[in-house]
Structure formats: C-alpha cells, structure tokens
Structure 1
Amino acid sequence: MTGADLVLPPTDRQTPSAAVLQPPGSQSLDVALAETNILLERHGHLVALYPSSLPPAHEHRLHAVRSVLETDRIALLKLDLPPLGIAVLARQLRQLSVCDFSAGVVASAARLLSHYVYAGALLNSVTKLDRIPVSLKSHAKSWMPGTQFAVLANPEPQLIRVGGEEKLAGPEFGTQLAIAAGQLSPSAAAWVTDTLAPAWQVQGTQEVELPSASPGWWGTPKMVEFAAFLPDVSVLYQLVSSVRIEQCHWCGVQLIGDRCGFCSAPVAPVEGHAVAALSRGST
C-alpha cells in the first residue's frame, strides 16, 4: 500500500498485514530498493495497490523501484476507487493471499473484486467534486445551508440529495459497511448508520480511520466516507475460483479476467477465434 491509513485492521487472525511503500520525501531510493528487495525475498511477489489520485512523484517512485530491480515479480495496480474502497479491496486481497491462489491470480482478482465494492460518501457540498458527474442543479443546491448529498463512486456513479425521494443504489448481496468519518458533526453523519446501512441491509458496520487522501478525492473534509464489501474469505474464494484461470502469454504468470495483473498484457485470443478472424480478413 502507499499509505498506512489504507491498511485496515484484519478481520481474522489469518489475514496478514501489508507493507507501506513510502513516498520519495520519506525515504531515499536506495532505502526503497533495499526494503522492496527484502519483501520480494520474503514473500516471492509484491502486489501494490495505489489510487489514481496518488501524487505523480510517488507513482514514479513505484515504477522506478520496479525498473531498477529489473523484476517481473512486482504488480503495480492503479485503481480509480476512492481511498476507503481501495483499503477494503486491499484487505480482501490480503485475505486471499493465504489461500491456494498464485500471486498472479491474487493480483488480477483486484479488478474482479472491485466490481463488488460499493464505495461512496456523504458530503455537505459537491462544489469541488470532480470525479463524479455533478449537475448544475446539484451545484446550486450545495450553497443552501443544511443540504447534504450521498454520492456513490463505484461500481456505478450516482449522486442524490439526502432527504429526497431518490435512493442510493446498494448491493444485492450480503456485505459489511466500513465507515470513516471526516469533519461532519455526529448528528449529520448519522445518516450513514441510521439510514443507509439499514437500506442496504448490511450485516455489520465497522468504523475505521479516514484515509488522508479522502478529503482531496471527495473535494471536502466535511464528509463521511463508506464502503460496502464482501467480508467472508470463503465467499471471496468461491468468487475468484469460479473464474477460469489463464496463463499470461507475455510473462507467464497465472491470471483471471482479461488482463495480467503483473505486466498488464491482455489475454491472448483463443486460437480458433484468431484463425477465423484471419480467414475473414483475407477474403
């Protein structure tokens, strides 16, 4: 992970913790290389999740470390999820890392599992929200005292005014809800626990620390971030194992889905389909 506040407490004794890959201002390149090399020697592979909002210098450091070490055992997964969504996804991958999946399958499972993370926030203003489509009407309502908005960023963007008739679309499967409070008052933030959680029929709530990147991601510190997720490792295991495992034609690791988590190469087309396509092109 790229921040200690993205490493959520484990859900059980088997879930391992995660290493934090520091930004350039916190450690030299030599120290970063040494620490990463130790991680590779100890665990064999490294799957690093980081948000698309990560400062460019930090992202460049991640790629520099992988390049200097000249290794194909580091997967750098850049995600568009909000910070708390990335944190719960990272914990799910930590849960899967102790199962009998290869590192390649764990890395490529991030894209699959992200579709089952319902990540959003309760905001008192959307005037600086630029990651979700916001209508002019909603912008205007942001200036009205007491107006609150519920925003869903993943899996499908949605924005509603709290107290209106529209409801925030939720998961149709059993989840738990991670909640991270910003600078909203407890009474204003109660909507998440008193209204959203029952409407989504979550099986439990968990209060966690607000990631430091969340105010910037959502455009305001006056917010409550939330993320509904699949908590049971047996369900995660069944979900991942139900997908066909392929072998990357470029770097050789196992993967699920349509793209390798380590080298980003797309899955090679099925031989029969490729031949048929060539035949059509020659006629």
Structure 2
Amino acid sequence: MPTAIAVTSADLVLPPTDHQTPTAALLQSPDSQPLDAALAEMTVLLEQHGYVIALYPASIPAAHERRLHTVRAVLESDRIALLKLDLPPLGVAVLVRQMRQLSVCDFSAGVVASAARLLAHYVYAGALLGSVARLDRVPVTLKAHAKSWVPGSQFGVLASPQPQLIRIGSGDLAGPAFATQLAVARGQLQSEWVTGTLARAWQVQNVQEFQLPADSARWWGTARMIEFAAFLPDISVLHQLVSSVRREVCSWCGIQLIGDRCGFCSAPLPAVDTQVHAARALTPGASARHGR
C-alpha cells in the first residue's frame, strides 16, 4: 500500500489527475471529533499504510494543530510526519495532490515526506484581490493600502515562492520559468485577468477551475478575490525532480530523506556538504526546467 497522505480539510483534496492518484485521509478538528476517535483512525491508517504524512496549512486553528501533535505523541509513533505548509489554501491543495501522486511512486516514505519542501518551491501561489486593506500575509506598502480604497482598484499578489504585489495595469507578476498548469478558484470578484492576462503571460499549458477553499477569504483578507496556483502537473517531471536530489539517512530517526531536513522528526542534516548540496537541489529551476 502507498504511504498515506492526510489533510486537515476536505477542500484541500483536489480531484485526482489519473486513476492511480489516491485520495487523502481527513484528520478532523477537535470540535468535530473526540480524541479517542482520532486515535483510532490514525491507528487504522498506520496499520493499512505503514506511514502517514499529514499536510496542513500554517493558518489552521491552534487547537487543530495541537490535536495532530497530541495524536502522534499518544501513539508514540515515529511513522507520522506532520508537515506545516506556509502556502495559501489553493497552493496547499495543489501541493497535496502532488504528494498524493508521489505516494504511489517508488520512493520511501521519508523521501516523499521531505519532498514537500522541495515541491513547494515550484508552486507559484497567489490571488487577484479587490482590496489589500486586510492582507497581512504578504508585505503591503502604505501606497498600496491607500490605492486599495480607490473604487475599481485590483491587485495581483504572489505569496510563493517570492512575495510580490502589483496594481493591475502597472506591472506584471514574476512567473515560473518552466512549463506549468494553472489552478483557479473564484471568490466574489468578477474578472478574467487570471485566466486571460496572467495565463498568457505565464504561458500555462492548461487552466483548471476548482471550488474556492473555505479558508481562502480569511487567508487573503477579503472575499473579493480569485485565487490561483501554477504547478508542475506531470508525474514524470515530479518523479525526475525528486530523484535528482541526493538521498541521505536521518542521523536521528534513521529514515531516508532528501534535502536538508527530515520530514518525520524535523532533524536537520549536520554535515555542511550535504546542506550545500540540498540547497542547490532546492533552487527552483535547477532540475525541473523543461521546454515550454
């Protein structure tokens, strides 16, 4: 059985790309599920899959995050990876689907878990906003704040991999230098800028529209928005990208990993040379560049 991928919200599970892509398990909040039920469900996942990789947004309530750590602590299991993702909701959903794709490949659970940090560098996640007055997750200048009160103003915002904010009509968002597809989720803003202007500028191969995640309006500070995320869709490219990074063994828990940090125990690699190698491998475009 493939390594289990788990999420903290059902709207983070996008439709599969093919018949091989498995779904993800749902780890419910303390308000929705008592602790004993959560422990029982996690035990079943471990028995069926061997390892569980739980991916969750950094924006989830503190009580929900505590529940995840409580379950792992009570079960005293070193086979549960808890990976906090500092991405907007749609970006998290895109990365979760890529992890689901990788879970059925010929990678160990440790390699799959540590691949999340690598793949996050290749997700260009942002939004078209009608206002940035309440945006606090991307740096906003006083000038941009002032312009957000002008009727009709719209802003293009990139949260990852490098924060950027532009006023529509006065600049361009820096896009990926490799072929991507574009995921789009519409809020209460009417515009074709994302699927038209941005998609053409970024030369995306395809545009897919999804339901807006429930937490998107809170994350971006407004419901007047259209969220988007450009991503690598091809499993063969993802496989090649992960395969190109040198594999190491965690000195703390003994599991295999890539990059400079273990996905299961979070221990960093102590050797300087492996850290340098991992940093180079994590540089966007280093091994994923391919023709448009």
Q: TM-score, normalised by structure 1?
A: 0.93
Count of residue pairs brought into register by the alignment? 269
> In the TM superposition, what is the alpha-carbon distance from 1:18 to its structure 2 partner?
0.3
Deviation at 1:271, TM superposition (A): 9.3
> Per-residue deviation at 1:272?
11
Cα distance between partner residues in 2 of 1:235 and 1:58: 34
Per-residue displacement from partner, 1:107-161 (whole Å, max 9, x unpaired)?
Answer: 0000000000000000000000001110000000000000000000000000000
Q: 1:26 aligns with which of 24, 32, 35?
A: 32
The one-letter amino acid of 1:24's match is P
Alignment of 1:1-283 (within 5 A): 1-164=7-170, 166-185=171-190, 188=191, 190-269=192-271
Summarize deviations over 1:235-269 as a string: whole Å, max 9, x none: 00000000000000101110000000000000131
Taking the aligned partners of 1:211 and 1:46, their CA distance within structure 2 comes to 23
Which structure's CA Rg is the greater one? 1
How far apart are the structure 1 equivalents of 2:137 and 2:15?
A: 28
Q: How much does 1:270 deviate?
A: 6.0
Residue aligning to 1:281: none
CA RMSD of aligned residues (A): 1.3
Alignment partners' CA distance in 2, 1:160 and 1:271:
39
Secondary structure class of the residue paired with 1:140 = helix
Instruction: Give the letter aligned to residue 90 of structure 2.
Output: L
Shift in alpha-carbon separation, 1:142–1:237, aligned structure 2, 3 A: same
Q: Tell me the distance in 2 between the aligned counterparts of 1:38 and 1:205.
A: 37
Partners of 1:123 and 1:272 lie apart in 2 by 41
Structure 2 unaligned spans of 5+ = 1-6, 276-292
Q: 1: CA distance between counterparts of 2:26 and 2:211?
A: 16
Structure 1: how far apart are the matches of 2:9 and 2:175?
Answer: 28
Distance change >3 Å, CA 38–CA 272, structure 1 → 2: closer
Higher helix share: 1
- Going from structure 1 to structure 2, the CA distance change for 1:144 and 1:69 (only over 3 Å counts) comes to same
Q: Distance in 2 between matches of 1:251 and 1:90?
A: 24
Q: Compared with structure 1, are the counterparts of its residues 125 and 68 closer, same or farther at alpha carbon in structure 2 (3 Å cutoff)?
A: same
Amino acid at match of 1:225: E
Matched residue of 2:263: which SS?
A: coil
What amino acid does structure 2 have at the position aligned with 1:257? G
1:147–1:35 distance in 2 versus 1, CA, 3 Å: same
Determine helix, strand or coil for the equivalent of 1:255: strand
Structure 1 pair 196–247 and aligned structure 2 pair: CA distance change class (3 A): same
Identify the range of structure 1 (227-236 vs 208-217) with the bigger mean alpha-carbon deviation.
208-217
Per the alignment, residue 289 of structure 2 pairs with none
Q: Aligned AA for 1:88?
A: V
Change (3 A) 1:149 1:272: closer
% of aligned pairs identical? Answer: 72
Cα displacement string for residues 151-195 of structure 1 (whole angstroms, at most 9, x for unaligned residues): 00000000000111x11000010100000001112xx2x110110
SS in 2 for 1:193: helix
- One-letter code of the match for 1:74? I
Q: Distance in 1 between matches of 2:121 and 2:130?
A: 26
Structure 1, unaligned runs of 5 or more: 274-283
**Distance verdict in 2 for CA 1:237–1:271, change over 3 Å:** closer
Structure 1 residue 79: deviation in Å?
1.2
